[in-house]
């Protein structure tokens, strides 16, 4: 039995979560009506172009459909730094050890026990 890179079950789950029928997804993809069932049943793998389109249409990453990550959105960092964090990063970039130590001392939680 041939191993598939594409995970048809993930396609089925995401398609159903999005409320799409196989026929509707095929129509949006520009594929034949039988193509989505073939993908979902691991009878065929989508071409790289079709994989990209499926990911776009279903708002997931291609890595998710390939089983490389376990979350549909994959790794999309939305890193929001606080003002204190931005100052620490800037002090690091400038090599300003004095400011860095002052910022760390000001922002780190205090402990009741002395540091060994």
**Domains of the chain by residue range:** 8-66, 79-109
pLDDT higher than 90, residue 106: no
* CATH code given to domain 8-66: 1.10.260.40
Mean per-residue pLDDT, 33-62 = 94
pLDDT, tens digit, 9 for 90 and up, residues 65-96 = 998 888 787 544 555 777 777 788 888 888 88
What are the angstrom distances between the C-alpha of 32 and each of 29, 36, 38, 86, 100?
9, 8, 10, 51, 60
Q: pTM of this prediction?
A: 0.61
């Amino acid at each position: 039995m041939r191993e598939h890179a594409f995970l048809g079950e993930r396609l089925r789950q995401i398609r159903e979560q999005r409320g799409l029928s196989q026929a509707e997804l095929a129509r949006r993809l520009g594929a034949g009506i039988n193509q989505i069932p073939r993908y979902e049943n691991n009878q065929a793998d989508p071409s790289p172009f079709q994989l990209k389109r499926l990911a776009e249409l279903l708002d997931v990453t291609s890595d998710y459909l390939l089983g490389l990550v376990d979350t549909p959105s994959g790794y999309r960092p939305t890193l929001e730094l606080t003002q204190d964090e931005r100052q620490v990063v800037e002090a690091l970039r400038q090599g300003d050890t004095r400011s860095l130590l002052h910022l760390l001392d000001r922002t780190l939680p205090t402990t009741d026990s002395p540091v060994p």
